[in-house]
Amino acid sequence: MQKVNVPGSLTAEDRDRMAQVGIDLAMTSRCGSYLQLNQDVAHATCSESGIEVMSIADALERYPELEKNYWKVVSRDKDDMTKHVAAQKEPRGYVIIGRKGSKNILPIQACLYLGKEQIQSVHNIIIAEEDAELHIVSGCASARHVGKGGAHYGISEFYVGKNAKISFTMIHTWGEEIEVYPRSAALLEEGATFLSNYVCMQPVKKVQMYPTATLAGERSVARFSSVVIASPGSSMDLGSRAILAAKGASAELITRAITRGGTIISRGEIQGKVDGTRGHLECKGLILKDGLIHAIPEIHGEVVGTELSHEAAVGKIAQEEIEYLMARGLSEEEATATIIRGFLDVKIQGLPDALQQQIDAAIDTAESGY
Amino acid sequence: MLDVKDLHVEVGGKKILHDINLQIGEGETHVLMGPNGSGKSTLLMTIMGFSGFTVTQGSIRFKGKDVTGLPVNERAKMGMGIMFQRPPTISGLKLGKLLTAASGETKEEIETYAKAVNMERFLERDINKGFSGGEIKRSEILQLSVQHPDFVMLDEPESGVDLENISLIGTTIGKLLDKDKHIVHRKKSGLIITHTGFILDYIDTNQGHMMCDGMIKCHGAAREMLKEIRERGYKECMECRK
């Protein structure tokens, strides 16, 4: 396996931060990589046959037909962030294409690393053609020293073809002064599956996103899972939306949110546009100390035969649960941490082991200091 | 092993237990009987040290040390164990994970313990979530098995358990209490709440205690006392002013 071409400027700390968000520079369990430092593309390769990983600039030049996927599910003038990215003279970001029937078992990794106080702008396009299966881990991080003025604007457009599958696991480790605005949308064809996972256990000044999946094909499936902890000073406004627009389409939106002093707004919306569709939205929140959790689950049914439900709960850890574990010999702190780890444990069906392990490891980084 | 002296306990400001005296020696198993609401579970919860059970007078000594003010986990570390009658469900926490956290045993060892009580299929399940009455009991016994307590408190171990499982639960509890060992080598002690006495078919006991209205009214041979209750009910015990 070809190792990631790492610029000499990368420090040990940078490598640590990257490892925390699932980036394996030695490529022991990855089949492809994209590495972007600030606005510089450092690396883009993939060894799996039928799967291409390239920078968006290269891709647009090599494949003129990509124009039909460029600024299509996310519009250029959606907001200030999309406008900013659209105004870049040289687009940055990556394109991953899984050609018809291709499949990767070892995930592809995309690392977007911010090393200075600037706006990192990224535009990604991920396409799984008919019967293709793509598993991607997107690790976004910043160097510890990056302060005020550091920001990340990321556009991601997903196209999941007939009977194709994309799993996209995004892990964030930013800093206390950094603002992050992902802008993502997915279009699903017949029988397509889209799994979107988000993990953020570390402080960030602000994250705001509301990815949307349009399930335009019959029997398509979308599943969004978010696991987040908001530290003091962090503000997270997170949502996900599924538009069920074809018969048999189904969606599940799951959030586990913990605040230990920060603010979390957990939004979610499922629209049932045609009959024979199902959707469920679930947000569970724990307030450990101070902080705020505001859950806004919305379900919107337009026809007979769409089944939508939501469940939202915000609370604290029950003393009874803590003492139950203490009766088995765990200290109060150990019991609390064990319960919280369980609370955050979202097992995602259809995810390769390597990615589930990565999610588990990312969640484990927050295990101390509740 | 356990020495409860002149114990008075309040729950939510209400006096529940009065003047409880109870001594359990090493290797002994005692039975606690009494009508519903008489304070039996309160006594077990107080001995274990759960919050909400306030000792207003008296003391609890365990292995010669006063534990009246100790937190639950310190008592557990000293060798106390309790089987919950209605344990909480903890979403996301797998039974196997709790067993590892509580015992430090390897995955293989835990599987062996789990197999002994037919719980190996439950290790990856959220603890107590959707467990039947019998499964909860087996899960509780499994947790105690990896904990190796020297003193075990069991709150109605046979309730909700079908006839097939009761012998499994009975013999496993027997092992927890060293009942498979010769009486002179028996080190483990127990305190069991039972209404039916079914569990006594599997566990030899030393003494029974009758609790009414938050007081221990009398002591005697457990089987004989149960026989009396079966035949005459609790009425005479309630009225007894001995």
Domain locations along chain B: 2-239
- Is the CA virtual torsion B86, B145, B47, B52 positive or negative? negative
What residues are paired with A46 via a beta bridge? A32
- Cβ of A323 within 8 Å of Cβ of B92? The answer is no
Please choose, from the candidates A198, A122, A118, the residue with its C-alpha nearest in 3D space to the C-alpha of residue A154.
A122
Could you state, in order of their start, the residue ranges of all structural domains in chain A? 1-209, 212-316, 322-370
Distance of residue B237 Cα from the nearest chain A Cα, in angstroms: 33
Question: Nearest-CA neighbor of A258 among A370, A175, A362, A361?
Answer: A370
Contacts of A346 in chain B (CB under 8 A): 92
**Radius of gyration over every alpha carbon of chain B, rounded to an integer in angstroms:** 18
pLDDT confidence bin for B224, thresholds 50/70/90: confident
Question: What pLDDT is stored for residue A368 in this prediction?
Answer: 55
The tokens describing A10, both together, are 């990368």
For chain B, say whether A318 makes contact (Cβ under 8 Å). Answer: yes
Distance of CA A105 to the CA centre of its chain: 19
B98 with A341: Cβ contact below 8 A: no
From the candidate CATH numbers 3.50.40.10, 2.120.10.30, 3.30.420.40, 3.40.50.300, the one assigned to the domain spanning B2-239: 3.40.50.300
Structure confidence at residue A1 (pLDDT) = 56
Q: How far is Cα A249 from Cα B45, in angstroms, rounded to an integer?
A: 51
pLDDT at residue A367, rounded to an integer: 56
Closest CB to B51 among A319, A334, A345: A319
Of the pLDDT bands very low, low, confident and very high (cuts 50, 70, 90), residue B189 is very high
DSSP designation for A103: B
Residue A9 in contact with partner chain B when CB distance is under 8 A: no
List pLDDT tens digits, range B101-132.
Answer: 888 888 899 999 999 999 999 999 999 999 99
| A195, amino acid identity | L
Exposure string (b/e) for A300-331, b if CB count within 10 Å is 16 or more?
ebeeeebebebebebeebeeebbbbbbbbbbb
Give the tokens for residue A72. 């299509």
Does the beta-carbon distance from B81 to A326 stay under 8 Å? Answer: no
User: Shortest CB distance from B73 goes to which of A284, A330, A338?
Assistant: A330
Nearest 5°: the CA angle B26, B227, B167 is: 60
**Residues of chain A below pLDDT 50:** none
Q: Do A330 and B77 touch (CB under 8 A)?
A: no
pLDDT at position A370? 55
Find the farthest-apart pair of alpha carbons in chain A and give their distance in angstroms, rounded.
65
The shortest CB-CB distance from A338 to any of B81, B101, B143 is to B101
Q: Crossing angle of helices B133-147/B107-116, nearest 10°?
A: 130
CB contact under 8 A, A326 and B76: yes
Q: How far apart are CA B136 and CA B142, in angstroms?
A: 10
Q: What residues in A contact B90, CB-CB < 8 Å?
A: 321, 324, 339, 342
| H-run or E-run covering B135 | helix B133-147
Q: Which residues contact A361 (CB under 8 A, 6 or more apart)?
A: A22
Q: List, for residues B135-164, the tens digit of each pLDDT value.
A: 999 999 999 999 999 999 999 998 888 888
**Nearest Cβ partner of B91 from A335, A338, A342?**
A342
CB A5 within 8 A of CB A126: no
Residue A96: the pLDDT is 97
Backbone angles phi, psi at B145, to 5 degrees: -60, -40
B56 and B69 Cβ atoms separated by less than 8 Å? no
How far is Cα B125 from Cα B151, in angstroms, rounded to an integer? 28
Nearest residue in A to B142, CA atom: A328
Mean pLDDT of the B12-34 span: 93
Residue B98 has pLDDT above 90, yes or no: yes
Q: What is the pLDDT of residue A369?
A: 53
CA–CA separation, B34 vs B214, rounded Å? 10
* pTM for this model (two decimals): 0.86
Sheet strands side by side (includes A250-259)? A40-46, A32-37, A108-114, A133-142, A165-173, A193-200, A221-230, A250-259, A277-287, A306-315
Select the residue from A324, A348, A360 to test the B interface by mutation, using most B Cβ atoms within 10 A. Answer: A324
A344 touches chain B (CB under 8 A): yes
Enter the tokens of residue A234. Answer: 């962090």
User: Would an 8 Å CB–CB cutoff place A330 in contact with chain B?
Assistant: yes
